[in-house]
Amino acid sequence: MKKLKYKVSLVFFGVIASLSSCTMFNEPVTEIQEVEILPEDIVELRDDQIKLAGIQTGSVEMRSVNNTLKVNGIVSVAPQNKATVCMPLGGFIKSTSLLPGNAVNKGQTLAVIENQDFIDIQQNYLEAKNKLVFAEAEFKRHTDLYKDDVYSEKNVQQVTVDYKNLKALVKSLEQKLLLIGINADQLNEDNISNTVNLVSPIKGFLKAANVNIGKYVSSTDILFEIVNSDKLFLELTLFEKDAEKVVPGQNIKFFVNNGDDVHEAVITQTGKVVSDDKTFMVYASVVSACKDVLPGMYVNALIEESNIEAPSLPSDAVVSFDDKNYIFTFEKDKVEAGKNMTEYRIIEVKKGIAASGYTEIRLPEGFNIHTAKVVIKGAYNLLSAKKNAGEMAC
């Protein structure tokens, strides 16, 4: 508000009419007063104007303020509560009976997969296992005979290599069987099968089922997506300027899809990186039992900020003009032309949290909150007087 206030000369023109019997002069009469130029950040009022405007002064208070930060986000689940199910060796879907939305338990069969390669793996494993039994016996026998100087060291080394190679082969085939869901300990010559059961790795519900009977699936195809919604969390998007307002442990109330049901969460972690659009992520664990709240749903959240001590004034003491905020402080009393006058200084401030009729203010450097007398009532009348170059607008 860059505007100089002037106390200007007042010129009164008195034109004497023919009806007047008090004077015989026709010429204008001019009364000249001295000109005073006030600083651009000063506004002055007479005592009667101050009384009419209801101006009162007070002090800046250190108050405990609490604010609610409004943010948006989505419902999500932790990585350990979400699973993508594939078939490592591929195959044909022999049977399945599940649909998206079905609840599943950990270890439950999702589909039966058929592949001739399963037979080869089982056969190779059993053959290698049988050979390993013989190789192990030969290894022990040759070792004992070598100790008795019956066999040469070269023969023992060859037997040892054959034994260790077979042992490694058996272990690798065991892992292949485990990969496709076959327990090697329960496999024997009588239960070789060309099918395996694809089972759920976690408890939850089916988010997607991309299968049908007879379909061939490769090792890279996603067959099922499973989500455990027992432990949900929120992914909230905040602006960079609000980074200092949130910390782990703060409580959150949130609403799903603009609904009326209130749910609760607690902030567990704040993002450490600001994105290109000047936002960052905040993560919160849902602590209340939320019926019909599913991953991917849109939420409106209210973050309850912690109480802090901050310089505050009654909200009416802070006035706005041209997108800036100001307060007025008492400057001095003076006598001018026999009249009592008071000067007030206008000071630009930054507004913070507003609650319970008080507003947090960020004051300029060097402002002494202990000695300053701030206008707490009538500030808008002072602003009007300032905008009108000293003409009081009450």
Q: How confident is the model at residue 6 (pLDDT cuts 50, 70, 90)?
A: very low
Query: Same structural domain for residues 221 and 86?
Result: yes
Predicted pLDDT at 34:
58
- Tell me how far apart the alpha carbons of residues 253 and 68 are, in angstroms, rounded to a whole number: 10
Q: Indicate the Cα dihedral angle 363, 368, 372, 377, nearest 10°.
A: 20
Between CA 203 and CA 106 the distance in angstroms is 5
Domain contains 28: no
Same domain, 133 and 199: yes
Residue 14 within any structural domain of the chain: no
Residues 87 and 221 in one domain: yes
Same-domain pairing of 201 and 95? yes
Q: Does a structural domain hold residue 183?
A: yes
Domain match, 162 and 109 both: yes
Rounded percentage of the chain residues whose pLDDT exceeds 70: 87
What number is the average pLDDT over the span 313-328? 93
Query: Tokens for 333?
Result: 């009393």
Let me know the angle formed at the C-alpha of 82 by 78 and 87, rounded to the nearest 5 degrees: 150
CA 242 to chain CA centroid, Å, is 10
Q: What is the pLDDT of residue 261?
A: 83
The DSSP-derived string for 34-99 is --EEEPTTEEEEEHHHHHHHT-EEE--EEEEE--EEEEEEEEEE-GGGEEEE--TT-EEEEE----
Tell me, yes or no, whether 220 and 100 share the same domain. Answer: yes
The CATH number of residue 60's host domain is 2.40.420.20
- Does residue 44 belong to any structural domain of this protein? yes
Strand 263-270 relative to strand 279-286, pairing: antiparallel
CATH number at residue 141: 2.40.50.100
Buried b vs exposed e over 163-176: b needs ≥16 C-beta within 10 Å? beebeebbeebbeb
What tens digit of pLDDT does each residue of 263-308 get? 889 999 988 888 888 898 999 999 877 777 888 889 999 887 666 6
Q: Of 60-64, 142-146, 339-343, 370-374, give the lowest mean pLDDT range.
A: 142-146
Of the given ranges (7-16, 121-130, 365-374), which has the lowest mean pLDDT?
7-16
Rounded to 5°, the CA angle 257-80-290 comes to 30
Predicted pLDDT of residue 364: 92
Give bridge partners of residue 344 from the DSSP assignment: 43, 330
Question: From CA 182, how far away is CA 118, in angstroms rounded?
Answer: 9
Domain extent at residue 277: 69-80+228-307
- Indicate if 243 and 354 belong to the same structural domain: no
**Residue 70's closest CA among 242, 278, 289?**
242
CATH number at residue 271: 2.40.30.170
For residues 120 and 219, state if they share a domain. yes
DSSP-assigned states of every residue in 252-270: EEEEETT-S--EEEEEEEE
- Helix H or strand E segment including 109: strand 109-114
Average pLDDT, stretch 335-339?
87
Domain boundary, last residue among 256, 286, 307: 307
- Containing 113, the helix (H) or strand (E) segment is strand 109-114
Same domain, 74 and 57: no
118 by DSSP, 3-state: which?
helix
Q: What pLDDT shows up at residue 7?
A: 39
Q: Both 239 and 353 in a single domain?
A: no
CA separation for the pair 127, 169 (Å, rounded): 10
Domain limit, last residue, from 225, 244, 279? 225
pLDDT at residue 337 is higher than 70: yes
Residue 293 lies in a domain: yes
When pLDDT is cut at 50, 70 and 90, the band that residue 150 belongs to is low
Please give the tally of structural domains in the chain: 3
Residues 37, 42: Cα–Cα separation, whole Å: 10
Task: Please name the residues in contact with 130: beta carbons below 8 A apart, sequence gap of 6 or more.
Answer: none
Task: Give the per-residue pLDDT at 11.
Answer: 35
Same domain, 213 and 109: yes
Residue linked to tokens 């039966």:
112
Residue 143 inside a domain? The answer is yes
d(CA 46, CA 120): 104
CA distances from 331 to 42, 242, 336, 375 (A): 8, 35, 15, 11
Tell which of 164, 195, 225 closes a domain. Answer: 225
Question: Is 208 in the same domain as 87?
Answer: yes
- The predicted-structure confidence for 32-66, as pLDDT tens digits, reads as follows 555 567 788 899 899 999 999 999 999 999 887 66
Those residues whose C-beta lies under 8 Å from the C-beta of residue 242, and which sit 6 or more positions away, are 69, 71
Instruction: Indicate the average pLDDT of the chain.
Output: 84
Res. 19: pLDDT tops 80: no
- Residue 341 above 70 pLDDT? yes
* Residue 394, domain member (yes or no): no
Coil, helix or strand at residue 129: helix
Helix, strand or coil for residue 15?
coil
Residue scoring higher pLDDT (68 or 26): 68
H or E element, residue 119: helix 116-147
